[in-house]
Amino acid sequence: MKKKKIIIAGIGIVVVLSTGVFAITRDLSYMRDVELRGVNLTTVADGHYTGTFEHGRFTNTLTVQVTDNQIQNIAIDNDVFAARVTNVSDEVFRRVIEAQNTEINTVTGATATMTAYLKAIENALSAN
């Protein structure tokens, strides 16, 4: 009886872990296919623009401030990824502001998260 319970518990653990791995890899696979197009700031008037990227744990909403056709500030309004690593978002936003574009080098180990932020920035600035 005790051996049977151990086997059933083991099977349960394998099922839970397999489901988690599937969910994580599915999201990462989707993120590899997200196309970034860059932004054309010459057509963007001064203002605050809100953009959203939606896909599972990478869903986020950002506000981008533009003055004199330059990105001045980027702020996170909503981020589904509750354990957001501030240094990643800060580094992404710093690089975008420095380059004045979303076509930047990725942050090692955070490519999917970074792509989600960059796509939200593009969505904000292309919606005007």
**Which range scores top for mean pLDDT: 5-9, 14-18, 36-40, 61-65?**
61-65
How many domains does the structure of the chain reveal? 1
User: What does the pLDDT read at residue 112?
Assistant: 85
Q: What is the pLDDT of residue 50?
A: 97
88: domain CATH number?
Answer: 3.90.1010.20
Q: How far is residue 33's CA from residue 49's CA, in Å, rounded to a whole number?
A: 25
What pLDDT score does 110 carry?
78
Q: Looking at the domain assignment, is residue 27 inside a domain? A: no
Whether 12 is covered by a domain: the verdict is no
* Confidence at residue 24, expressed as pLDDT on a 0 to 100 scale: 54
Q: Does residue 2 belong to any structural domain of this protein?
A: no
Query: pTM score, two decimals?
Result: 0.77
Mean pLDDT of all residues belonging to the chain: 84
Asked if 108 and 86 touch (Cβ cutoff 8 Å), the reply is no
Q: Are 79 and 104 in contact (CB under 8 A)?
A: no
* 70 within domain boundaries: yes
Range of the domain at 96: 41-126
The mean per-residue pLDDT over the stretch 68-95 comes to: 84
89 found inside a domain? yes
